[in-house]
Every structure is written in structure tokens, then in C-alpha cells.
Amino acid sequence: MRAEGPRHPWTIGGVTVDLPVIVDWVDVDYDAGAEAVRVNARVDLVGGSPEIVEMAFIAPAGLDLAALQRDFRWASPLTAVTGILPQLIAEGSDPFAVNLPLSGYPAVAVQPLRRRGNLTDGFLTTIAREYLARGRGYAASLAQEYFVAPRTVVSWVEKARARGILSAPPSPGSVGGHLLAKPGGSPHGSPPDGPT
């Protein structure tokens, strides 16, 4: 949600995010017998970069520290603002009208902006590694983490193969293959990043 206070626009990839905002993380399944746990994180521009400047935990029935350790990552609210909000704005969606994912961070937020249409080798290498590690069912599980349709994940694997990052599967219709070396002979290993 929009936060009160002076506005500080932050621009990334030609998309402007109007800060400050409050990311309101609500876990309604936290404990079936208790009220929902909320985490309110205020994200604002600090030194030219978005940062979490305030965070509050609200738990009327007390905090279940084991559940928080398992389900909540401190950087998730910031990752949602820097990774998902620009994506939504670029697509013409109202980022304040969309329920953001509660889990799957940071993977869910590292998908590059689709409108630029050019996925980096680093991002496709990350997808190829996950594809090889997960095997059958990879599209559904990665789609859930990256907040996209399974068909989009399949297209990323196809792009990784077309770009020479991932080899062909052992046989037509099967899952698998292996990471290929870059033209210079070193293996694909660049970190996941945005579009180039």
C-alpha cells in the first residue's frame, strides 16, 4: 500500500516505483486458532536505493518463532518492491490491487521485466539449473515460485536450449540434459540478473 510522507520516485529499467510503500505481509494460515500474523515493512529510498526503513510484527496470539523462521525472510518485503512492483507497473497493472506471493522469495522476484523481452544468460542459467535439479514437475513448481504460468517456465527452458546454455534432452520428450560451456570454454555460471 502507499505510505504517507514525501514521495521519492525510484526508477529501474525505465519503470518508476513511487516510494515510500508499505508491504503488508499477512499469514492467514499462521495458526488456525489464532488471528492472522502481520508484518508491515516500510520501504523508502535511502541513498538512491530502496531500503526497509521500518518493520513491525503484529501477532495478537504471540509470535510462533519456528513458523516465522520457516516462512518469513527479512528481505522479502524489499525483494517484492524491487522485483515484483516494477514488473507489475511495466505490465500496466496497479501494484496496489495485486496480492503478492507470501513465499518463494527471492526466486519469485528475480524474474526480469517481461516487457523488455530479453532474458539474460544469467537468468536462463539459473532456470536451467533448477530445471535439471527438479526434473519432472519443474514447470509447475518454478511457475509457483516465479509467479508465472507453467508455459512461461517451459519457454524459458526452450530459450536456454536455443541459446546454448542447456543441452538437448537425452531423448525426445524426456526431461534432462546438462549445462553447456560458454563459447570461451567456461561453464555457464553467471549470477541471475535482469534483462540486458
Report pLDDT for 34: 55
Give just the sign of the alpha carbon dihedral 25, 28, 29, 30: positive
Fold entry, domain 110-196: Arc Repressor Mutant, subunit A (1.10.10)
pLDDT in tens, 97-127: 877 776 667 666 765 544 345 677 878 888 9
pLDDT in tens, 28-67: 554 455 567 788 999 999 999 999 999 998 888 888 787 7
- Residue 3 confidence (pLDDT) above 90: yes
The structural domains of the chain, with segments of one domain joined by +, span 8-100, 110-196
Report pLDDT for 168: 93
Read off the C-alpha cell for 35.
Answer: 488471528
| 140 contacts: CB under 8 Å, gap ≥ 6 | 150
CB atoms within 10 A of CB 76: 24
Report pLDDT for 111: 56
pTM of the model: 0.56
Interval 63-88 mean pLDDT: 82
DSSP reduced 3-state for 161: helix
